[in-house]
Amino acid sequence: MDSERIRRAQAGDQQALAALLKAHYSFIVKYVWKMSGDEQLAYDVTQDTIVKAIQKIQQFKHKSTFSTWLIQMATHTYIDYKRKQKRSRRIDEKAIQEWKNPQAQNTRDELYDVQEALWVLDDHYRIPIVLKHYYGYDYQEISSMTNVKAGTLKSRVHYGLKKLRKELLSHER
């Protein structure tokens, strides 16, 4: 379904491209949101990623899935945003409040803590952890997405998880 749409989009079918991007919009927003903890940033990065996807659709070579290609662009865009704006790590308080739904708090408190603890980590730990453990990409795929060596990523995930565990323990206390 996707590959047919992509081929049509690459052949110049604007409606196919629009439908393709609409189908993946929520996926990208959620990815950036989970990675940054900042709702507005998630929408901004997604907007830029969509524009880049429109401009570079001809460069998609069908070697990976379309969502992987989009995640790669979204990751680069997110890193660029952080670099340009030099934003301090800002966790969207509103998102966290919405996040902590009182009805669900008793049942799944630990899971909310995990997401919050993840947002506290540095980008270079958080990005590979999200890609590896949320999206199930292997180190080679993450390496090609982030332009970081697989060995480095492996070590970052390892130390990131260690930091995450420490953070979770401090939440428990």
Partner 1 sequence: MKDEQSPEDKELESILKQANLQTDDRLHVNEPSLRYFEGLVQEQNDTWHRRLLVELACLWGIAFIFISFLGLTLFYVPLLFILIQMITTLILIGYFLRERKEMEVMRQ
Indicate which single residue of 3, 7, 11, 22 sits in contact with partner 1 (rule: CB under 8 A): 22
How far apart, in whole angstroms, are the C-alpha atoms of residue 7 and residue 32?
26
SS (H, E, C) 8-45: HHHCCCHHHHHHHHHHHHHHHHHHHHHHHCCHHHHHHH
Q: By CB under 8 A, which span of 64-72, 85-93, 141-149, 161-169 interacts with partner 1? A: 161-169
CA dihedral 123, 21, 2, 67 (to 10 degrees): 0
How far apart, in whole angstroms, are the C-alpha atoms of residue 98 and residue 72?
28
Query: Please, are residues 23 and 65 in contact by the beta-carbon 8 Å criterion?
Result: no
Residue closer to partner 1, measured from CB, 50 or 145: 50
Indicate which single residue of 7, 11, 54, 170 sits in contact with partner 1 (rule: CB under 8 A): 54
Residue 47 identity: Q
Indicate which single residue of 8, 10, 25, 171 sits in contact with partner 1 (rule: CB under 8 A): 25
Residue closer to partner 1, measured from CB, 2 or 83: 2
Q: Which residues bind partner 1 (CB under 8 A)?
A: 14-15, 17-19, 21-22, 25-26, 29-30, 33-34, 50-51, 54-55, 98-99, 101, 108, 110-112, 114-115, 118, 129, 133-135, 151, 154-155, 158, 161, 164-165
